[in-house]
């Protein structure tokens, strides 16, 4: 499960639209929380507290590469605020919000959340996945607006 503030989805979609015609990308930072206190479940998840826009070094409508300097700055800033990088987001300009074979091959961390923003249709679609050992599993995105962290 990925917990997001309600405004993050709108902000990320707007950022991805601004990146057209290329794919846009960025990083998610947060911390682990105990779901039992939130949803009466026994597992833990991450709450996203900040998102970082990054440059797409691939400058492509079909693939993305997070700029290494942007990654380093985001990682350092997150760490200085007691957070860590917990995922990446990017847009799909012409396809559905499902990880492509390239996305799966380039997934750097099996513990990350992989958020995809599809701009294929008039209304953007946002989905989140976990990618472990090449296996893709969709996870729910929960708005955290009613919780205090």
Can you give the pLDDT at residue 4? 86
Taking Cα atoms as reference points, which of 78, 127, 76 lies closest to residue 103?
Answer: 127
CATH number corresponding to 2-143: 3.40.140.10
Extract the tokens encoding 69.
């300097």
Contact 113, 28 (CB under 8 A): yes
Can you give the pLDDT at residue 45? 60
Contact 96, 138 (CB under 8 A): no
Domain ranges of the chain: 2-143
Report whether pLDDT(40) > 80: no
Contact 30, 89 (CB under 8 A): no
Can you give the pLDDT at residue 148? 45
Residues 6+ positions from 70 with CB-CB distance below 8 Å? 27, 52, 53, 54, 55
Res. 31 pLDDT band, cuts 50 70 90:
confident
84-92 and 25-34 beta bridge pairing: antiparallel
Can you give the pLDDT at residue 5? 86
Q: Is the whole-model pTM more than 0.85?
A: yes
Mean pLDDT of the chain: 88
């Amino acid at each position: 499960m990925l917990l997001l503030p309600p405004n993050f989805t709108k902000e990320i979609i707007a950022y991805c639209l601004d990146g057209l015609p290329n794919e846009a990308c960025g990083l998610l930072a947060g911390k682990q929380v105990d779901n039992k206190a939130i949803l009466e479940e026994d597992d833990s998840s991450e709450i996203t507290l900040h998102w970082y826009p990054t440059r797409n070094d691939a400058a492509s409508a079909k693939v993305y590469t997070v700029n290494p300097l942007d990654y380093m700055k985001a990682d350092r800033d997150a760490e200085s605020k007691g957070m860590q990088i917990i995922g990446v987001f990017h847009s799909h300009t012409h396809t559905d919000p499902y990880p492509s074979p390239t996305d799966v091959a380039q997934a750097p961390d099996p513990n990350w959340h992989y958020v995809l923003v599809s701009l294929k249709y008039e209304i953007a679609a946002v989905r989140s996945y976990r990618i472990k050992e090449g296996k893709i599993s969709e996870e729910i995105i929960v708005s955290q607006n009613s919780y205090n962290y």
